[in-house]
Amino acid sequence: VAAPLAVLHRVRHSNGWIFGTMLFSACLSLLASLVLSIDAVRLAADPGTALSCNINSVLSCGTVATSPQAQLFGFPNAFLGLMAEPVVITIAVAGLGGVRFPRWFMFAAQVVYTLGVIFAYWLFYQSMFHIGALCPWCLLVTVSTTLVFATLTHVNIRDNNLLLPPRAHRALTSAIDADLDATVVIIWLLGLTLVVVLKYGSLLFG
Amino acid sequence: VTAGGGAVIAVLLIAIVVSVATAARNPPADGAAAASDTPPAGATPAGALAVGDAAAPVTVELYLDYMCPFCGRFERANGAELERLVAAGTVRLELYPLSFLDRMSAGSRYSTRAANAVATVADRTPDTLLAVHAALFANQPDEGSRGLSDDDIAGLARRAGVSQQVTDAFDDRAFEGWIAGSTEEAFAGGITGTPTVKINGTVFPGDLYTVGPLTQAIGAAASR
* H runs (alpha helix) in B49-175: 69-87, 110-124, 129-138, 150-159, 164-168
The answer to whether A203 contacts chain B (CB < 8 Å) is yes
Average of per-residue pLDDT across B102-111: 85
Q: Which residues of chain A have a CB within 8 Å of the CB of B194?
A: 52-53
User: What is the percent of chain A with per-residue pLDDT over 70, rounded to a whole number?
Assistant: 87
CB–CB of B1 and A178 under 8 A? yes
φ/ψ of B163, rounded to 5, equals -75, 155
pLDDT score for A65: 46
Report the C-alpha gap between A33 and A83 in whole angstroms: 10
The answer to whether A167 contacts chain B (CB < 8 Å) is no
Nearest chain A residue to B70 by CA: give it.
A52
Nearest chain A residue to B65 by CA: give it.
A53
φ/ψ of B176, rounded to 5, equals -65, -40
pTM of the model: 0.74
Q: Which of A1, A42, A53, A177 has the highest number of chain B CBs within 10 A, making it the mutation to test binding with B? A: A53
Report the C-alpha gap between B119 and B40 in whole angstroms: 6
CB–CB of A190 and B9 under 8 A? yes
- For residue A100, the tally of other CB atoms under 10 A from its CB is 11
| Least confident interval from A11-25, A71-85, B23-37, B108-122 | B23-37
Beta strands per DSSP E along chain A: 53-54
φ/ψ of B171, rounded to 5, equals -70, -15
- Chain mean pLDDT for chain A: 87
CB–CB of A52 and B196 under 8 A? yes
The answer to whether A180 contacts chain B (CB < 8 Å) is yes
For residue A40, what are the contacts with CB-CB under 8 A and spacing of at least 6?
A64, A70, A76, A78, A79
Say which of A61, A178, A179 has its CB closest to residue B69.
Answer: A61
B27 pLDDT exceeds 60?
no
Report the C-alpha gap between A202 and B107 in whole angstroms: 6
Amino acid at B121: V
Q: Which residues of chain A have a CB within 8 Å of the CB of B101?
A: 53, 61
pLDDT score for B32: 42
The answer to whether A170 contacts chain B (CB < 8 Å) is no
| Least confident interval from A65-74, A91-100, B211-220 | A65-74
Determine which helix (DSSP H) or strand (DSSP E) holds B96, and give its type and residue range. strand B91-97
Nearest chain B residue to A55 by CA: give it.
B193
CB–CB of A55 and B191 under 8 A? yes
Nearest chain A residue to B15 by CA: give it.
A194
